[in-house]
A and B are shown apart, each in its own frame.
Chain A
């Protein structure tokens, strides 16, 4: 067994140097292909409840 690598200064070991997957969803946005602004699914606007929501 080799001797422990005792650093001259302070030393930290950190687990996780790459991506951490979907558990980190709140911290790390994973983007779907971006389409700017409002989507153009006009059929949605026909929905009763959405019409109620939209400003008149």
Chain B
């Protein structure tokens, strides 16, 4: 999988940018430099399309840092898709590149394309740290670089082992970027990016639709012994559960963010179609992993359910999905599911709800989730 080659670089290439890849993987760097083009293959129910990506180079950031700093110093755009935990490692070289930017050039755009809220802010904080940028250079950093958060959404399925540099991904995409940081300058000309003043509605809509729907299918599917999300969604009962859960969250999203109901309905329909894509063959154990995080207060089930409950609105399908998540215990290869089993065996229902879900007794959702935990704990004793 490579959202870098398949998604971000593809957009940049299609917008007329020369792309300089930076990575620590020798094999990928060597292959990129040896091969003048690779294919991006978009798959979907409506067929397959291919496009060729050219006009790129690659630099090993571990062994050729001076060259990479030079490239960054004159770049129009710096992007990354390395994983949120790696941002601190790429910050020093980006900081050096920014610091050496020629005065006559406008600020470069720095956009982190990670599966994390506020990832560019996180990267910017590392860049601005005293170990990476001297205090007197931080003051006028915005003359050299502008930092914009983004939300990306595109499923990249498992790649064929012999695919080489070619990348296969779904046709659907959404790449939304904050426009406010570019005030006074034009936004970077990246075709396909949606520029918005406020990113929060897009991030929440994605989390409470894509991730809620995906996880609902996975947890129900796991408990009904399905292999993949696709298999789960072939089951009419599970399909109904997913639609009910997304109906719960649509109610919240449309009212909270003023998103048009028809537009949200279309978005939901599209999401269900996307996660039902047979080409993705996504195992329920993978999508369901890390249940402790996914049952958290700001996450895909408890987050929207708590808000809905406070307003007296229906959140029953989200709670059903959360119950299935509580039953995702001792799954091979997932440490959190083992930890969840331990917590469920040792703690009281109130402690579980407060510690795992972060809910307080004063919240309207609280007693409903306590009841779920009691039920799951009682069922565990039956087995």
Contacts and interface: CB of A to CB of B under 8 A. Distances in A.
Contacts of B210: 26
B115 interface: yes
A4 B73 contact: yes
A21 B333 CA distance: 15
B13 to A, nearest CB: 9
Interface string A16-56: 11111111111111111011111111001001111001110
Contacts of A15: 4, 22-23, 61, 78-82, 90, 94
Interface of B: 1-5, 8-9, 12, 15-23, 25, 27-29, 32, 58, 61, 66-68, 70-86, 90, 94, 97, 100, 102, 114-116, 152-158, 189, 210-211, 214, 223-228, 231, 237, 280-283, 285-287, 289-290, 327, 333, 375-376, 379, 382-383
Given A1-B66, A34-B283, A29 B155 contact: yes
Contact of B21 (A9, A14, A36): A14
5 contacts: A10-B76, A11-B20, A14-B8, A21-B83, A55-B237
Residue in A6, A17, A37, A49 with the greatest tally of chain B CB atoms within 10 Å:
A17
A18 B16 contact: no
Given A14-B19, A14-B21, A24-B3, A35 B225 contact: no
Contacts of B16: 9-10
Contacts of B82: 15-16, 20
Contacts of A37: 226-227, 231
Given A10-B76, A29-B283, A44-B225, 8 more contacts: A11-B71, A11-B76, A13-B22, A16-B81, A23-B114, A24-B81, A27-B1, A29-B282
A23 B115 contact: yes
Contacts of B158: 29-31
Contact of B18 (A11, A16, A32): A11
B375 to A, nearest CB: 8
Contacts of B15: 10
Contact of A12 (B12, B70, B211): B12
